[in-house]
Structures are given as C-alpha cells and as structure tokens.
Amino acid sequence: MTTVRVKGATKSFGRTTALHSVDLDAGPGVTGLLGPNGAGKTTLLRIIATVLAPDRGEVTLLGRDPSRPDDRKRIRERLGYLPQDAGFHRGFTVFEFIDYVAILKEMTGRRARHDEVRRVIGLTGLASVSAKRIRALSGGMRRRVGLAQSLLGDPDLLVLDEPTVGLDPEQRLRFREMISHAGEGRTVVLSSHQTDDITALCARIAVIHQGRARFTGTPAELTAQAEGRVWTEARRSPAALAAWRTGDGTYRNVGEPPAGADLIAPTLEDAYLLLMGEPELKVAHS
C-alpha cells in the first residue's frame, strides 16, 4: 500500500533548483532519504509535510491531494512532522510546549488533550522532565521533545527530518528504538546523512543528490551495487576512489579494484560513496 506518492516534484528557490523531477513512493514502515547536506532532502520532506508545495509534479499523501485545501487539512490531521531545525518556545515547559502543538492539532478538549500529551511524553521517556523549561534541557532531550510533538494524535504519516542529528551514540540508539517502534503500522519518512541510521531503520531508501533521486530501493539492493568494488590492501590503492586506514592497519579501498584484489563484503556506506559521484571523490582523494 502506497501512502506517499511523489511524482516529478520540482521545486526552485529563486535561481536555485532544490529538486529536479523527483519521484518517491513510500508505504507503511520506515523509508529513508539519504544524501549529503544540501542535497534536497529537507525540501522533499517539507513537501511531504505539506509545508511547501512543489512548483511542478504531483503529490498524493494518504490517498489525498495536498494542493486542495480540504484534502490538505485532512492530511494534516493524520500527519506528524519533526522539522530539521525544530524550534521551541524556550520559556515553555516540555508539557506546555507539547500541549501548545496539541492545540494546533485541534485537540481542544482539555482533559483528552492532556492525556494525549502525557501519552507521548511517556513514549519518548520525557516524564521526568515534563515540568522543566525547554531552555534547561540538553540537545538530545530537546530532540525527544520534537519527536514527542510529532507523535501527537498517533499519526498515520510521520515525517522526520534528520531526527538523530547532534545526538550522542547512546541517544541515537534510543532514538532508533523509538523510531523503529513508531514505524510499526504507520508510514515513517525520515532523512539522514548517517548510513548506519538508514541501515538500522529503513526498509526502503532513496538517495538524493543535487536535487535528484539517484537511487530508490532497499538498503540491500544499494549495498549490492558495490559488490566486487571494495577490497583491502596494505596500502592506499591508486585505483581507489576513496580509501581509508582501518583499525587492523590495512586500507579499505572503494572503487574499481585491480586484478587479484582481496575483495571484501561491501557496506551501505561503500555503495553510497560510489553512488555519490566519482569526480567529487577523486578530488577529495587527490
């Protein structure tokens, strides 16, 4: 079942084209957008979150057309969104802020709304800080507050822009756990430039680079594209597009291997590096 369908989406800001005719389909489960900073992931996610409208192309969300005001409202009632640089009214406490977003989500009955606020606070492990002012929280806890507000109303579509950015390893693991849980029975579309997040969470991925979708498929399919193109050597291979020294002292080389190279199993990161474009990698290497 497809709940997010983007077809030929193009979006420009002045002279800069952020998206060039991008297609994306997503259904229940976690779909990841992978790409470097400035690739167009945030623009695509803002379109899926109904914050932006594409200049050209068709978008269907939860079976509705977001360009129509009635449909857009219905979509927003079933949508949760965590922006990349989610801001907060810093004077609000955690409870007050999530309550404020619940009001924007048209939960007007005080008791039912407060119950829902408590539910998402519990889900994201914020119960012990619910009365604290947001300005007193760490970056990781603030990110949790952002995730909590996106879960209000148990949305069918969850759009998360770089949910794990700025988190320490433990917090990232906790976040993965929460997002994985959130992806059960609903559609989650998230962006990241961390391949390990994508590997851990996503059933499907789209690699976005310079405003274009360079790959769509499963992480295993992307990884398979690097089969036979990753090898180890005692030194940096001149044939490699990218190479780095590993913990055991050998070099992991990615590119076109020389004859007789000691091939090893590729990772998603290897495949991502190969997909991102050889000229840029060569420049970096030189």
Taking CB under 8 A as the rule, does residue 81 contact another protein? yes
Distance CA 91, CA 275 (A): 44
Residues binding another protein: what is the number (CB under 8 A)?
A: 41
Contact call for residues 65 and 57 (beta carbons, < 8 A): no
Stretch that binds another protein, among 30-38, 92-100, 175-183, 265-273 (CB under 8 A): 92-100
- To another protein, the closest distance from the beta carbon of 67 in angstroms equals 10
Q: Looking at 52, 129, 201, 202, which residue binds another protein (CB under 8 A)?
A: 52
Nearest to 4 by CA among 22, 27, 31, 21: 27
Q: Looking at 91, 217, 228, 238, which residue binds another protein (CB under 8 A)?
A: 91
Taking CB under 8 A as the rule, does residue 103 contact another protein? yes
Nearer to another protein, 19 or 101 (CB): 101
Contact call for residues 115 and 98 (beta carbons, < 8 A): no
Q: Six-digit token pair at 274? A: 């190969």
The strand pair at 204-209 and 240-245 is best described as unpaired
Taking CB under 8 A as the rule, does residue 87 contact another protein? yes
Taking CB under 8 A as the rule, does residue 105 contact another protein? yes
Taking CB under 8 A as the rule, does residue 229 contact another protein? no
Q: Looking at 31, 124, 149, 195, which residue binds another protein (CB under 8 A)?
A: 149
Q: Looking at 8, 28, 57, 83, which residue binds another protein (CB under 8 A)?
A: 83
Q: Looking at 79, 147, 188, 222, which residue binds another protein (CB under 8 A)?
A: 79
Phi, psi of 188 (to 5 degrees): -120, 125
Taking CB under 8 A as the rule, does residue 24 contact another protein? no
CA angle 147, 39, 198 (to 5 degrees): 50
Nearer to another protein, 123 or 281 (CB): 123
Nearer to another protein, 52 or 226 (CB): 52
Contact call for residues 159 and 182 (beta carbons, < 8 A): no
- To another protein, the closest distance from the beta carbon of 175 in angstroms equals 18
Phi, psi of 27 (to 5 degrees): -130, -170
Distance CA 161, CA 142 (A): 14
> Given the structure tokens 């190969």, which residue do they identify?
274
Coil, helix or strand at residue 11: strand
CA angle 61, 144, 146 (to 5 degrees): 45
Binding site for another protein (CB under 8 A): 46, 49-53, 69, 72-73, 76-77, 79, 81, 83, 86-93, 95-96, 99-101, 103-106, 108, 110-111, 114-115, 118, 130-131, 149, 159
